[in-house]
Amino acid sequence: MSSAVMKRMFGLPVIACSSSSRTDLLSIQASSHVGDEATMSLVTEYGDIVAKLNLLESVLLGIIMRKPSAGYDIRRYLEQSGRIYGYVPQSSQIYRQLAKLVERGLISFEVDDSRSGPDAKVYSFTPDGWGVYLDWIEAPFVPSERPLDAHFQLHFSLAGVVSPVIALRLVETELAFREEQESIWEPDVQFIRSTNSLMDGEWMDEVHHLGDARGNMLATAHISWLRTTARRLRRYIERTGAVWPDPAWEARRPQ
């Protein structure tokens, strides 16, 4: 493999849903701005509802799809798993977006008397929310320009869990994009050189090459994982006869 596409990952923040940023242990990257106008959004239409799901809304729906959850449950899940995804929203954003999803009729809640305050509300899908979320799952996946961006990780975990067919579609799309990206990457073009630099030229070159080696390793590992996962998913689908659309999902639709 030629020098890695990973150069574009250096110095990019792991999102914490605020203007500040932190560096994640795994250097998993996310969008540089997340909020009500998240950059990673999809437009989906279901019946008479036209819903624009921003990143946080799609994440919330994905978690609630797994099981009805209170705001506290969602926050705790994202505080733990979100650090692996590279996406850790603030509590205020979670509760605000949950309220908006209720207003739009995509989720509803029941009050759990064993809880108190906002966390007494346990959220679940409405029929409309169910349809909107399935539309989000089926919408074409567009990989992020940045390798190892949280965009793919979140889609794989929250949409891929619905069906191995959906998971394979995501993996194949991501793999094709990364292989094409790698084939046209020219790392030396990205390296800034200047005869008037205040930096020591020899040391600057050394840091550049060390950084490129790190990027090459991470990008290679990502592509290798995608290839292995695609093979395993194909075997799984062949063995189980999994299909999509899956009639079993329609039977689970909330009434």
Pick 47 or 88 by higher pLDDT.
Answer: 88
Distance CA 173, CA 152 (A): 10
Distance CA 217, CA 210 (A): 11
Q: Across residues 109-120, what is the average pLDDT?
A: 81
Give residue-wise pLDDT tens across range 133-179.
999 999 999 999 888 788 899 899 999 999 999 999 999 999 999 99
Pick 247 or 30 by higher pLDDT.
Answer: 247
**pLDDT of res. 60:** 94
Q: Which domains does the chain have, with CATH numbers?
A: 5-251 (1.10.10.10)
Neighbours of 222 (CB within 10 A): 20
Beta strands in the chain (DSSP E): 42-46, 49-53, 69-70, 107-111, 121-125
Entry pTM: 0.74
Give residue-wise pLDDT tens across range 194-226.
666 677 778 888 888 888 888 888 888 999 999
Q: Across residues 213-240, what is the average pLDDT?
A: 94
Pick 175 or 90 by higher pLDDT.
Answer: 175
